[in-house]
Amino acid sequence: MDNITPNSSKEIILQTLEEGVFFLNSKHEIEDEYSTAFENILDQRVSNGQNFLELLKSRVPENIINNTIEFLNLMFREDLDDETVNELNPLSTVEFHFENRWGLWTSSKFLSFKFKRVIQEDRIVRLVGTVKDVTKPVTLTKKIEEIEETTTRQMDWLVNILRVAPPLLKEFVDVSETELTQIDNEMKRFKGTDDTKIILTRVIKSIHQMGNNASLLNLNFFTDKLHAFEQEMQNLRKKENIGGSDFVPAVIQLGEIRQMLKDIKNLMQRFKHYSHTLRPTRRFEGGLLLRTIENLVEKLARELNKQIKFNTDKFDHTLIPYSHQEIFREFLIILIKFSIFYGIETPEDRRSNNKKPEGILEVETFGEKQLCGFKLRHDGRLVRIERLLQKTIEMVQSKSDRDHPIVSDQLGSEVIRLLFMPSLATPTLSEAEYIREIFGEMEMVKKKLKMHRGKIKITFTSENFCEYTISLPVN
Amino acid sequence: MNETDLHFFIDSTMNYFEEITNEKASAGIPYIKDEEPVVLEYTGIIGISGKRKGSVYITTNEAMLREIAQIILGMEDIQSEDFKDLVGEIANTISGNVRQAYGSDFMISVPVVVEGKAKDIKLPDNIQSFVVPLTWKDYKSFLVVCLE
């Protein structure tokens, strides 16, 4: 210890301190003694006499630099109280920005500076400054705040999501992502000369489709977002001379929707390992199938101002093998949509035809050794399409072998083609759009039906009765 | 990033063209940037930090820069360096205007210029980027905005 002079002791202290320590004169210059940690924390070399504010340049925003100048000047004023001035310290927690060699921001550090006056003979001769790296606690606090915010939002989502069977939710996310990609592609392909209204119509159609799907699964948080967006696009479509800038709200909201889907996927991923305990039983999933179609009937009846009694007493989902539930769900949704839209009349129409104001829609499942399926009946009017269908069936029947089943695969596809052909029943534009939507859905289902060697049959026994039968081989 | 932010950048770009060249540019339909690169022959990039972080860049072709340079500088003999300066200047002006609107806690870097069709311009992965196609006269260019 003999060879340690007071000077070198100070140096050792300055070299070993974990805190950055430095001194500033009244010109805000760094005096020659400062701790090694000071340079390390700032990630830059410091030279004696260097102006402290130089160290802040390009590291912190201009307003903080201006406030620091003012604050340091106040620190040197003897007529002001030290503690009071310190409350104005703009560097008490400050984000230091670091750039790459191109000058582009790459990372940040959060630093905490404190300043004390050094007084000699009742005069403030300099300031002693200390700096600590508080990145970890600051980022941790921010992260906790973010998590809290996300958790609050996602808890509401979870209430919705956990009610939906995982395969249905996955399908919903996949289909929605495909729709969003289509929208992105439409927007990307836009040439200045194109009609923006055509693009808007396509965007609205996709969003409407996604909204319907979300509504069927009772994903209210998503439905609300999509409906608000669709409404905004409808309003935009009414505008004359739509320019590219008018699409700014659309593209921002699409970004938010994409982010929501990403969050849903993350939630699904996080809950994947709970799938064995949280996954609904197959019996429960069968119940979900029924609940989905009940929701659909209720929603469509409300939207179309129709009164419908939906009879599901003969619907036994256990008769449908688990592997077939998805395709049955798709068929049910499409046929229900069609029956309510075209078949079942409004209470006023029904009264004028001497019918009860409440229409009847019934679904019944059946299962045999090698065949399973469902029948969907309604007591609404027989529309022109159905009459055409009857003729088609008769026509195909007369051409077919007498021993052959009346409704063959070929007929099934012909029936579906006619049933969902847009040109056959498009009294208004909205109906035309609606039919096109169903037609699009039907294309996929048709392929699936063919793949599963399934059959469709349509029966009319009176002017007030129409029954669709869908059957699939069990194996 | 919200609607106002994107509008600011688009308006600022439109203003630049109109003020400098007396000829309006038009913005196409913006879209979310995916993996497909958006890079033309000259690109001017500005880094943004402070309260908001991200990048903004404008990318265009030599022909458009040549015509703008002729308008601004009245020069016929324009070199590659001039194109680089010009595209950097455009990016800087756009960001500078936006900075004026956002205040002094919005930091912008000096422009970084990329010459030639790079594979793509690296943008922060965790922030959505928006592409705005621009047309000035018959020339195409793109404004790409990535801001948290």
Instruction: Give the CATH number, domain containing residue B121.
Output: 3.40.1550.10
Task: Determine the pLDDT at residue B18.
Answer: 92
Residues 431-450 of A with CB under 8 A from B: none
Say whether residue A243 is in contact with chain B using an 8 A CB cutoff. yes
Cα separation, B147 vs A107, whole angstroms: 15
Task: Determine the pLDDT at residue A406.
Answer: 39
Min Cα–Cα distance to chain A from B76, Å: 30
Nearest CA in chain A to B2: A252
Residues 56-85 of B with CB under 8 A from A: none
Q: Which residues make up the CATH 3.30.565.10 domain(s) of chain A?
A: 281-473
Q: How far apart are the first and last CA of chain A?
A: 92
Of A199, A252, A258, the CB nearest to B29: A199
- CB burial string A411-438: b at 16+ within 10 A, e below: bbebbbebbbebeebeeeeeeebbbebb
Task: Determine the pLDDT at residue B30.
Answer: 92
The verdict on a CB contact (< 8 Å) between B29 and A259 is no
Q: Which residues make up the CATH 3.30.450.20 domain(s) of chain A?
A: 6-133
Q: Which domain holds residue B86?
A: 3-147
ipTM of the complex: 0.89
The string of pLDDT tens digits covering residues B10-58 is 999 999 999 989 999 999 999 999 888 899 999 999 888 888 888 899 9
Query: What's the total number of domains in chain B?
Result: 1
Task: Determine the pLDDT at residue A109.
Answer: 93
Say whether residue B104 is in contact with chain A using an 8 A CB cutoff. yes
CATH for the stretch A6-133: 3.30.450.20
Task: Determine the pLDDT at residue A432.
Answer: 56
Q: What contacts 24+ positions apart, CB below 8 Å, involve B93-96?
A: B93/B12, B93/B16, B94/B9, B94/B12, B94/B13, B94/B16, B94/B46, B94/B56, B94/B58, B94/B143, B95/B46, B95/B48, B95/B56
The string of pLDDT tens digits covering residues A230-262 is 988 888 888 888 888 888 988 899 899 998 898
Q: Are B91 and B56 in contact (CB under 8 A)?
A: yes
User: What is the third-level CATH fold of A281-473?
Assistant: Heat Shock Protein 90 (3.30.565)
Cα separation, A299 vs A279, whole angstroms: 27
Residues of chain A with pLDDT under 70: 1-7, 165, 191-194, 272-288, 382-451, 461-463, 475
Contacts of B38 in chain A (CB under 8 A): none
The verdict on a CB contact (< 8 Å) between B10 and A245 is yes
User: What is the third-level CATH fold of A162-276?
Assistant: Four Helix Bundle (Hemerythrin (Met), subunit A) (1.20.120)
DSSP 8-state secondary structure symbol assigned to residue A262: H
Sign of the torsion angle spanned by Cα atoms A251, A252, A253, A257? positive
The verdict on a CB contact (< 8 Å) between B30 and A251 is yes
Beta bridge partners of A50: none
Say whether residue A357 is in contact with chain B using an 8 A CB cutoff. no
DSSP 8-state secondary structure symbol assigned to residue A383: P
Contacts of B6 in chain A (CB under 8 A): 248, 251-252
The verdict on a CB contact (< 8 Å) between A61 and B104 is yes
